[in-house]
Structure 1
Amino acid sequence: MSLIVALGLGAATALVANTVDPVQQHNSNAVWFENWIGLSNATMVVAAPNGKISQVHAVSGTPVYELDRAEAMDGVYRFELRAATDEKVEIVNPIDNGRGNPETSMAKPFYMTGHFVVSRGVIITPEDIKEE
C-alpha cells in the first residue's frame, strides 16, 4: 500500500527529512541513488507503465532497481522511496505492548517520489524540448 494512501498526502509530506538529499542516478538498466549518507532500511516501490508493482529493499546502502529487459515496457516508471534517517524523533503517543518500557523515540522517516523513462527497452534521460 502506498504511504501516500495510508497517511494522506499532507502527512506524507511532513515525513520528509530536510537534512537528507539523495540524488537519483541511472544507467541503461538500473536506477539507484547517490548522496545516501544517513539513510538505512530503505524500500523502493516501482510502478511500471502497465501497473506492475516491484519492490526493492536494502537494509544498508541505496536500493537498486534493475530493469528486466525481457519484460521491460516503454514508458514512464514511477517510484516512491522510503527509508529511516539517523535522526531521532519523539513518539508522541508511545504504545505499551507489555514488554517493558515503551519506546519514546524512533528514526525519523524519509520519503520521496520520482520517475524514470524507458525507451526501446533501456532507461533514458528524456530530452528537454523547448519551444522557440
Structure 2
Amino acid sequence: MYFQHNYRTQRIAQEIHKKISIILQHRIDDIRIGIPTISGVQISKDLKNANIFVTFIDKEGPEEIDTAVIILQRASRFIRFLLANTMCLRVAPMLCFKYDSSLIEGAKVYSLISITEKL
C-alpha cells in the first residue's frame, strides 16, 4: 500500500512539474521574475500542499532572487487556478515557491574540485 501511494504522489509531482513549467513559460509575463526553472516539486501525502523549488538563470544577487520568489508566491493563486484547469485533481494543491540553491552550491563544489585537480 505504501509503495502505491508513494508512486502516485511521484506521478502527480512530475505532472505538476511539467504543467507549472509550461505555465511559467507561457502565461506569467513579469520582467522581475526573469527566467525561472523548476528544479523540483515536493508534494504532501494528502496532495493538498506542494513545494515548488525554483532556480533562476539570469539572477545573481540575493535581493533579485528574493524579489523573484516573492513575486512567484504572490502569483501562486493564479498559477494554482491555471494548474487546476489543466489537471484532473479533486483539489489543486496550495503552491509554495522556494528557492533551490543546490545548483549554485554544486557549481562551487565543482570549481573547488577542478582547482584541486590542477594542483
- Pairwise same-fold verdict (TM > 0.5): no
- Give 1 or 2: higher helix fraction: 2
- TM (norm. structure 2) is 0.29
- Give 1 or 2: higher strand fraction: 1
- TM (norm. structure 1) is 0.27
Larger radius of gyration: 1
